[in-house]
Every structure is written in C-alpha cells, then in structure tokens.
Amino acid sequence: MKAPHVEYRNVRKSYDGRTLVVEDLNLAVEKGEFLTLLGPSGSGKTTCLMMLAGFEQATSGAILVNGESVHDLPPDKRNIGVVFQNYALFPHMTVGGNLAFPLEVRRLRASERAERVARALRLVQLEGFEARRPGELSGGQQQRVAIARALVFEPELVLMDEPLGALDRRLREEMQFEIRRIHRELGVTIIYVTHDQQEAMVMSDRVAVFRNGRIEQIATPETLYEEPERAFVAQFIGENNLLGASVTATDGDICDVDTGSGVVRAFDVQGSAVGDDVILAIRPERIGVEPDSGQYANVLTATALDVVFIGDHLRVRLRVGDNEDFIAKIPNIVGHGTVLPGDNVRIGWATLDGRALPPDPSISQGDIEP
C-alpha cells in the first residue's frame, strides 16, 4: 500500500513542557490533495504547519513525507514551498531576484533559473514584472510573487499560512480562485491554514477543523456543512441554531428530543439512549416560517424579535423557548409574506435537517467567535 504524501503520527507539541498546543495528532494527506487546517486562533493549526516545514520541532511523535521521517532534516532540505501571510519578500531585490534566490541556493544554472522564473511568473499571471521591486506592487501582486517563489523550485508540497489575511475582501476572493487554479494546473499537494471558514469551503478538497490542539472533524466541505459530528463544527462551519435537548425516544438513526418548547424528531449522530442530553442543530436556511400545514415533520411556536433585510433573503431573529438568538432565513421571493417584530409565528423543518449532537459543556446557545 502506497504511503500518504504527508503523515502525522501521534504528534504532540508543547512550548513549556506542560501545556499541549497540539495533542495526539494523527493525520494523513494524499498526494495532490488540497487540505485546509481550519480553526480559531490558538487552536494549533499553524504549529502543525510549522512542524512540517521544519521551523518547529515536535515534542513527540513522527512527521513523515513520502513515508520517510523529516525529523532530522533542516527546513532547506525538505523541498517544501512555504507562503506566509506577510509575503516575506526581500524588499531590496526585484521580483525576478526574489524568485531566483531559492534557485541560486540550489545552485541551478543561470539559464535554468531564468526559465523557471519566467514559468513561475506566467503561472501567477505576472509576466513582465521581473524588474519591479516589491514596494512597487499592490498587496495582491506581492502575494502572487510570494506564491510564485514557493513554486519556482518545483516542490511537490506547498504550505500556506494565512496567505490572504492581509488582503481586502475583493482581492482575497480573487486570490482564492487563483490558488485553486494553480493547484489544479500543477497537481501539487497543498496544506493551507486559515481561520476563515468560507475560504476553506471554497478552496479545499478536505478540511480539518481544529480546536484546542485536536482535530474535531475532517471531511469534505460539503460533508462538514451537511453532516457535522460535533456542536463546535456545526457552529464554526457556516451558521447553526443550537438548542439544548433531551432524548425521549429512539428509532434507528432517528430520535425524538424534548427542546423545552416541544418535542421534535432529528437525525441521531451518536446513537443516543432515552434520557441522554444532546445539542440539537438546525441550519437557518432550512427553517420555514409560517409553513403550510403538513409541510414539515417538526413544528414549534416562536416569537419574532428582529427582521433584517439582507437582499436575497430576510434574516429573522426568533425567541424559541429561552433562546433569543434562533435564526431563520426567508428567501426574498414574491409572496414570502411579512413577518414583523413581536409576531408569534410557527416555524418548521424536516426531520433530517435537525441533528442531535453530543453534548459539549463549552458550547452555549450562541455564536462561536473565530
């Protein structure tokens, strides 16, 4: 059986000998995959990247590339391209000089250096910029140069640490698709770090959601969104309403749960027993307001607290039981009806759109801030 391109085996990292910033990490990355490490600040994702790059050493465990440990290899011998948030370009060098530098270190001939620099600039669509200096470029152009420099020596593996964090929203969105295009064109393995869940969803083949040094769930973007296994993932990927509930009945993969405002049916993620506490998660866009009779298996009463016009939808904040931050999104279509603050309304959703997740003492019925 062929070894993964990158593998972390029981990796731990502590800076002070007491607190683990990465705990028992086991992760395999296939050749040519675009994997994103996603999580809030301090969750350990950047540390994982820096250990692979060789800028940090694991406290214990092993990191392998193509089945071989990289523990004793210095960063410059690992043949890994790295892109940082702050670009890390040499300001006194031209664009061509910045790109040629890693090739000079590797002692390539001048003719081959020139050929590779030209190829890398074509790849990031910056032909003709060789003589410019970084200070003469926009932020987006500087980031393209940083990406080109990471690719110019043709590594099989590229690491990117929050590379778009310093760009404005429009440029960030443009660069997301550019990086994805480059990945498809070259077929290199990319491991990407971000705290931006939208960025992770747009770019990745798989996403590993980090929390407190551990992976909470790793899956495709669609699976993470549609089938979260934990409350933290349910809230961190997109938006979810969370209600504390107790299981009153089970039937295979479906369970009945008492929310305190009524009993509803949901998909049972963990295989619950009657009496178990769960967290019920429902996406705002799956909730119908004032649905037709019989349209949904689950119906509760609620009070509209606030209605905000977003453009393509109305965002309705509701009180459901003790939760005053229950959100429904109503499509902005002709005949959607009018909901006003103070109205008592019925809300409903399909059985499989509710997920009964394991309880988590650190998760409240509110937003998780990145």
d(CA 156, CA 80): 7
* 6-226 and 241-357 share one fold: no
What pLDDT, on the 0 to 100 scale, is given for residue 164? 87
Amino acid at site 192: Y
Amino acid at site 99: L
d(CA 352, CA 354): 5
- The values of phi and psi at residue 295, to 5°, are -70, -35
What pLDDT, on the 0 to 100 scale, is given for residue 370? 32
Amino acid at site 45: K
Instruction: Specify the CATH architecture of the domain 241-357.
Output: Beta Barrel (2.40)
What pLDDT, on the 0 to 100 scale, is given for residue 67? 94
d(CA 257, CA 250): 9
pLDDT 10s per residue in the chain (370 long)?
A: 778 999 999 999 999 988 999 999 999 999 999 999 999 999 999 999 999 999 999 999 999 999 999 999 999 889 999 998 877 888 999 999 999 998 988 888 999 989 999 999 999 989 989 899 999 998 889 988 999 999 998 899 999 999 888 788 888 888 899 899 999 999 999 999 999 999 999 999 999 999 999 999 999 999 999 999 999 999 999 899 999 999 999 999 999 999 999 999 999 999 999 999 999 999 999 999 988 888 999 999 999 999 998 888 889 999 998 889 999 998 887 555 678 899 999 999 999 999 999 999 877 544 333 3
Amino acid at site 233: V
d(CA 139, CA 143): 6
What pLDDT, on the 0 to 100 scale, is given for residue 226? 95
Cβ atoms 336, 295 nearer than 8 A: no
Domain ranges of the chain: 6-226, 241-357
What pLDDT, on the 0 to 100 scale, is given for residue 367? 39
Q: Decide if domain 6-226 falls under CATH 3.40.50.10490.
A: no
What pLDDT, on the 0 to 100 scale, is given for residue 334? 55
Two tokens at 22?
């990465």
**Conformation bin of residue 40: beta by default, left when phi > 0, alpha when psi is -120 to 50:** beta
Strand order of the β-sheet with 34-38 is: 80-83, 157-161, 189-194, 34-38, 206-211, 214-219
What pLDDT, on the 0 to 100 scale, is given for residue 17? 87
What pLDDT, on the 0 to 100 scale, is given for residue 106? 87
**H/E segment holding residue 243:** strand 241-251
Amino acid at site 256: D
**Alpha helix (H) residue ranges in 106-220:** 110-123, 139-151, 169-186, 197-203
